[in-house]
Chains A and B, each alone.
Chain A
Amino acid sequence: MNFPVLSAITFTPLLLALIVLIIPKSKENWIRWATTILSLIPLALAIYIYIVVQADPGKMHFMEEYSWIPAIDVYYRMGVDGLSAIMLVLTTLLSTLCYYYAIYTIKNRVKEFYFLFLILQVGMSGVFVSLDFIFFYVFWEIGLVPMYLLIGVWGGERRIYASIKFFLYTLAGSMAMLLAIIAVYLETGTFNILEAAAAQPFAGNFVLSAVAFWAFFIAFAIKVPIFPFHTWLPDAHTEAPTTGSVILAGVLLKLGAYGLIRIVLPMFPKPFAYFSYNVPIIPILAVISIVYGALVCMAQWDLKRLIAYSSVSHMGYVTLGISAAAASLALPGGGGPEAVTSAIIGLNGASLQLFTHGIITGGLFFLVGMIYDRTHTRQIKDYGGLGSKLPYYYGIVMVTGFASLGLPGLAGFWSEFFVFRGAFAIMPVYAAIGVLGIVFTAAYILWKIVQFIFLGDFDQEKWDRVTHNAELTDMKTFEKVTMWPLVILMVLIGLYPSLVVRLLNGVSTALFGNF
């Protein structure tokens, strides 16, 4: 038997969590450094998987399958293709960066923090490798609790409200998903995600398939989040500690979109196409998320809340890309090979956005955390003129900000471009409205973030007043170390998108080969 790579990548963090439990509470530095260094193991495994999957990204690799609960046919079933591989790289990379960043920033309850965070990593990694519904669901729920506690214990002033809102909202989604999973099981007799998709549950009955589709869709839409299911996000982000925000924006939101691509699109192509093309509810919600989310950002004066809303807007691109791909299936006459290519490009864009938004917005939350740790204010109006005082920080924020607004040459551009490329060919009206989001995004990033915080004259008196004489220091070494991997990825993917797109394209092409 081969080495179970996927079990290893999923459960190494669990092992680390147990190690953390054993280390005495007083040895805080041991806990910090042991977690950070050992977390390089799953990261290395993810990179190994990324390399191996290159050979044939459309197929499942490293399959593991053991009977788990035979009575109800539940299996321990794992596998990765190009999409999961990319998501694993994202998860392990951001987790390691969070562990590292937390060494210097989490001062109280270190042991608990690392323990919970490691459990969270188990949940996230597990979702991306599971090929069994129950298994998937278990991991999905595992991620919920630690995140809830991360917000509730290490969060800001309104952390209790925010954490409970987060918990209940996502739990509501989970319930819908559980019901749908049971329904699919009753119909197909299997919890195997791939087999269930191949069986096309309820294909003969549009009403039932639509009901099941919406159950899944809403569960995932809450997580993404898609308008109007998004109001938990600004509260959760605003109150979460820096690392919590990073992982929330960087990975947790991606679980929902991953579910749409991995489960909903292959399993319910007809209803997905119907509600994307004939009754275009989904693209309308996507476009609302994009434009409305971006406009709402312009009205924010709280830095974290602004970036939280920007996630709503940016994840709208993901929804638009997926629904464009789905809509291609409903085109009159099938649309021909051109439509298939457009659908694949659109889906590539959506999947790529998962990764690029992860590194870019993760980076933005790190950057906000860094300034917040100095000043203890998130109010945009409290800042001003920092560009000349913190040139290094200013430079990194500029690169990340421009990546976020989709400047060509940086990572964010490609996902947007691919999404719009796919969407324009299939649903030009929604693409044309959606591009408006680009202007508003540029406006809130350059106006609200860059101009208010960095440009203009620095006013020492005001600074002392609002920050209670905070020390004005540029980025420290650990902050640079945290940001550089993300910045390098933004530039590398910007210059050579194939690094990621090759794998995603394999997955999308294989998926559309099946339809």
Chain B
Amino acid sequence: MQEFFFSLTWLVPVFPFLAFIIIILFTQKNNKLSHSISIGSMVLSWLLGWGVVFSAITTPHLGEHPFRITIPWFPTGTSTFDIGIWVDPLMAVTLFMVPFVCLMIFIYSVGYMGYGTDEVDPHYSRFFAYIALFATGMLGLVISENLLTLFISWEIMGLCSYLLIGFWFQKNYKDPNKITPRQAGLKAFLVTKVGDLFLMLGILYLYSQAGSLSYADTLFNHEFLKQLASTPALPIFGGWSAASAIAALMFGGAVGKSAQFPLHVWLPDAMEGPTPVSALIHAATMVSAGVFLVARIFPLLNVVVELDHTNPAMGLIAFIGAFTAIFSSLIAVAQKDIKGVLAFSTISQLGYMIAALGIGAYVAGTFHLITHAFFKALLFMGSGSVIIGCHHEQDMMEMGGLKDKMPRTFWTFLAGGLALSGFPLITAGFWSKDEILAHAWHEFLHQGVISWPFFVWLLLTIAAFITAFYTARQISLTFLGKPRGHHAEHAHETPNTMTVPLILLAFFALTLGFVGIPEEIVGQGNNWLHNFIGHEYAATPLSIPIMLLSGSLAIGGLGIGWLVYGRKPLLQGEMDPLEQGMKKIRLGWLYEAMRNKFYFDELYQVIFIQGSIKLAEIFYNFDYKWVVDPFINLIARVSRGISDLLNQFDEKVVDGLVNLTGLSGITLADLSGVTDNKVVDGLVNGIADMTGWVGEKVLSPIQTGKVQNYLLIALISMLAIIGIYLVY
């Protein structure tokens, strides 16, 4: 039975792919048929996917013996490159999350894109085709057996992200400084492409070392990994091992895709896309692909630790993750756009996962990846529901008082918010975040204060507090108090197609954490998640003080947030109390910086965008106006001068050669009004007749001189070569 499901795994991404093809080619005109095909294909993927997941869960020792089938794809010299599928625990837990979240979002999109209303999107069918293609990419990435198909799926998601962010490609804003969807799509594509270059280089590096990209031959071949960890890397990496260098390069891809500092700038703008897209791509699945990649290559990171006890690449990963987590949580606090807060919150949470993997907390990082996908999809879809309910108002300052007008949205959003804050015991986010902090604490006790784990622990703990605070701020501003704008005044609850997915996701956002409760609490050997995916790594020991600390930080952050924003809700036109407070203690500049995302967009605009445009112009002028082409023309002129001299010196040679230039004269003949006949006749009957005429006409324009020159030069050099030949 398990084998049966495993061998059908390849079909999981095929269903949505077929849906994409069918919708794009045939059913674009029929909205109902299109969304039915799209959702239908996702139902099939989901059922089959969960079939695979439950088969994987019930297969003993899957971690030691992953399931693998491959078929040849293309030849490489005397060998072939094979593609296939790979079923292991990491794949199984991700496959639990992806098709279900996708399906929820597909259903939600029916309502969000206005099906059956007057506001139905003009490209409704196309939307469902694109999200189906996206699901193909994400599912393909999860089931891949090698890094090349992973990379291909990765790029297909990049394409879909581009298409979907820019989905409303006609949209313009009155404010010329506000980024339009089409610009945001382009920005996302190009910024992530920079990361992808590193990923591609990492893959090429690994490929050239291993001669294969198959997981079985590389990431899960311990002998090879050990050899790679003792091979020195290319000189540019200093004294690193090849394993560290490859992992660091591939991590570059994750930095782009998972929007980590310094490539985080695209994700906030990606919120210009329709909200289901934000939920699907920019919160739950695609951005987690970066984390998935780092988890995938974890053996490559770990083997260096095994040999050397330390891995510089992991230090890099831990630093980037922890820094991103706190940096973007600070920005989130000062955002006014309901999706803007969530965008930075996503970046921050992805930072948690990356940091976790960077300190070796493989299970905790993966755990948070899965729980976050559920509660962040929920939050995004909740915010989408708010946006639809408020007639496309996104500014939280214009909201307020939606609790009673949109009860289902409120209660599910609250569940998601509590999970994000890590509210103790009853939310999934608590268990996964706590495990990361506990792992960092535990490692720090081993390694001392001057170590990455301490850095990670400190930053993530502070970030946890800020997270709870901005969550309370968001919920208070949106749902509590009285409406501050007329859109909020007339808000209404959204249709069932939108709220039912919210309720289902809320269920998982609260309960999913129970699969990974530390065994000190549930009994020896009962931490199911660790047993399933992390059997080869030591479990993170429970630390009661840390658990108490993170629990009280969550409650404290929520409480202080409520005190500031919820107890006495904001009135219309009132300034954000945090802004007021910070201005009072002369930190207004910091608040401005936070609200302006620490000015990274402006900085990059000047350095990279305008820089490369300038460089392009300089190169073009170099090419066409200053150097290359003028140089060619100079050669032509000089050689014409020489030939004029020679012309006088030896008319006979030139005369002979002029005949050959007759060919080039035909066009001129044509220009001068010679009739059609002569062109063809000239070719067919011979060019001789025209030569006299051409010789006269052609000698004057600059260009024709060149033919003779080249032929002369040719003749001379031929003699020279024969001369050299005879001498040698």
Spell out A's residues near B (CB within 8 Å): 21, 25, 109, 111-112, 115, 145, 148-149, 152-153, 159-161, 163-165, 167-169, 171-172, 175-176, 178-179, 182-183, 186-187, 205, 207-208, 211, 227-228, 230-231, 234, 292, 295-300, 338, 340-342, 344-345, 348, 385, 387-388, 395, 402, 407-409, 413-414, 417, 420-421, 424-425, 428, 431-432, 435-436, 438-440, 442-443, 446-447, 451, 454-458, 496-498, 501-502, 505, 508-509, 512
Contact A149 B667 (CB under 8 A): yes
B450 at the interface (CB under 8 A from A): no
Contact A186 B725 (CB under 8 A): yes
Chain B residues 189 to 210 lying within 8 A of chain A, measured CB to CB, are: 189-190, 193-194, 197, 200-201, 204-205, 207-208
Contact A112 B676 (CB under 8 A): yes
- SS of B interface (majority): helix
Contact A455 B170 (CB under 8 A): yes
Contact B169 A153 (CB under 8 A): no
- Given A388-B170, A446-B162, A497-B74, the answer on whether A292 and B186 have CB atoms closer than 8 Å is no
Question: Out of A172, A438, A498, which one reaches B197, CB within 8 Å?
Answer: A438
- Given A421-B207, A446-B162, the answer on whether A167 and B664 have CB atoms closer than 8 Å is yes
Distance to closest chain B CB from A251 (angstroms): 21
Q: Which residues of B contact A163 (CB under 8 A)?
A: 667
- Given A179-B714, A341-B77, A341-B211, the answer on whether A432 and B201 have CB atoms closer than 8 Å is yes
Segment with Cβ contacts to A, from B263-271, B583-591, B624-632: B624-632
Contact A498 B77 (CB under 8 A): no
Q: Which residues of B contact A431 (CB under 8 A)?
A: 201, 204
- Given A424-B201, A446-B190, A509-B77, the answer on whether A455 and B208 have CB atoms closer than 8 Å is no
Distance to closest chain B CB from A285 (angstroms): 12
Question: Out of B73, B183, B612, B710, which one reaches A168, CB within 8 Å?
Answer: B710
Q: Which residues of B contact A443 (CB under 8 A)?
A: 190, 612
Contact B714 A165 (CB under 8 A): no
Contact A296 B616 (CB under 8 A): yes
Distance to closest chain B CB from A223 (angstroms): 15
Task: Closest B residue to A454 by CB, please name it.
Answer: B169
Task: Closest B residue to A109 by CB, please name it.
Answer: B676
Question: Out of B76, B664, B710, which one reaches A341, CB within 8 Å?
Answer: B76
Contact B632 A231 (CB under 8 A): yes
Q: Which residues of A contact B122 (CB under 8 A)?
A: 388
Task: Closest A residue to B197 by CB, please name it.
Answer: A435
B663 at the interface (CB under 8 A from A): yes
Contact A115 B707 (CB under 8 A): no
Classify chain B: how many residues form its interface, as a range: 35 or more
Contact A183 B186 (CB under 8 A): no
Q: List 11 A-B contacts (CB under 8 A).
A: A109-B679, A152-B670, A179-B714, A179-B717, A186-B725, A298-B613, A299-B620, A421-B207, A458-B170, A496-B73, A509-B77
B688 at the interface (CB under 8 A from A): no
CA distance A230 to B148 in the complex (A): 34
Q: Which residues of A contact B623 (CB under 8 A)?
A: 231, 292, 296
Question: Out of A164, A298, A424, A457, which one reaches B612, CB within 8 Å?
Answer: A298
Q: Which 9 A-B pairs have the closest CB atoms?
A: A152-B667, A425-B208, A298-B616, A299-B620, A175-B714, A408-B152, A424-B204, A344-B77, A299-B616
CA distance A295 to B155 in the complex (A): 22
CA distance A165 to B75 in the complex (A): 42
CA distance A300 to B624 in the complex (A): 11
Contact B679 A149 (CB under 8 A): yes
- Given A145-B663, A388-B170, A442-B189, the answer on whether A168 and B211 have CB atoms closer than 8 Å is no
B151 at the interface (CB under 8 A from A): yes
B120 at the interface (CB under 8 A from A): no
- Given A153-B679, A182-B718, A420-B200, the answer on whether A409 and B155 have CB atoms closer than 8 Å is yes
B617 at the interface (CB under 8 A from A): yes
B606 at the interface (CB under 8 A from A): no
Q: Which residues of A contact B117 (CB under 8 A)?
A: none
B166 at the interface (CB under 8 A from A): yes
Count: A-B pairs, CB below 8 Å: 219
- Given A299-B619, A442-B189, the answer on whether A164 and B703 have CB atoms closer than 8 Å is yes
B713 at the interface (CB under 8 A from A): yes
Q: Which residues of B contact A21 (CB under 8 A)?
A: 680, 684
Residue of B194, B208, B714, B728 most packed against chain A (CB within 10 A): B208
Distance to closest chain B CB from A107 (angstroms): 13
B582 at the interface (CB under 8 A from A): no
- Given A296-B616, A505-B76, the answer on whether A387 and B155 have CB atoms closer than 8 Å is no
Q: Which residues of A contact B166 (CB under 8 A)?
A: 455
Contact A385 B170 (CB under 8 A): yes
Q: Which residues of A contact B156 (CB under 8 A)?
A: 407-409
Q: Which residues of B contact A432 (CB under 8 A)?
A: 201
Contact A407 B194 (CB under 8 A): no
B47 at the interface (CB under 8 A from A): no
Q: Which residues of B contact A230 (CB under 8 A)?
A: 628
Task: Closest A residue to B705 by CB, please name it.
Answer: A168
Task: Closest B residue to A420 by CB, please name it.
Answer: B204
Distance to closest chain B CB from A514 (angstroms): 14
CA distance A428 to B190 in the complex (A): 23
B376 at the interface (CB under 8 A from A): no
Q: Which residues of B contact A344 (CB under 8 A)?
A: 76-77
Distance to closest chain A CB from B710 (angstroms): 5
B721 at the interface (CB under 8 A from A): yes
Extra pairs beyond A152-B666, A161-B703, A211-B724 (6, CB < 8 Å): A112-B676, A164-B703, A167-B707, A168-B636, A207-B728, A295-B619
Distance to closest chain B CB from A389 (angstroms): 10
Task: Closest A residue to B706 by CB, please name it.
Answer: A168
Distance to closest chain B CB from A156 (angstroms): 13
Q: Which residues of A contact B182 (CB under 8 A)?
A: 451, 455-456
Q: Which residues of A contact B193 (CB under 8 A)?
A: 438-439, 442
B653 at the interface (CB under 8 A from A): no
Q: Which residues of B contact A408 (CB under 8 A)?
A: 151-152, 155-156
Contact A148 B722 (CB under 8 A): no
Task: Closest A residue to B636 by CB, please name it.
Answer: A168
Q: Which residues of B contact A508 (CB under 8 A)?
A: 77
Interface 1/0s, chain B 58-77, versus A by CB < 8 A?
Answer: 00000000000000011111
Q: Which residues of A contact B522 (CB under 8 A)?
A: none
Contact B190 A439 (CB under 8 A): yes
Question: Out of A183, A501, A512, which one reaches B75, CB within 8 Å?
Answer: A501
- Given A420-B200, A424-B201, the answer on whether A148 and B664 have CB atoms closer than 8 Å is yes
CA distance A396 to B663 in the complex (A): 39
CA distance A328 to B503 in the complex (A): 60
Q: Which residues of A contact B683 (CB under 8 A)?
A: 115
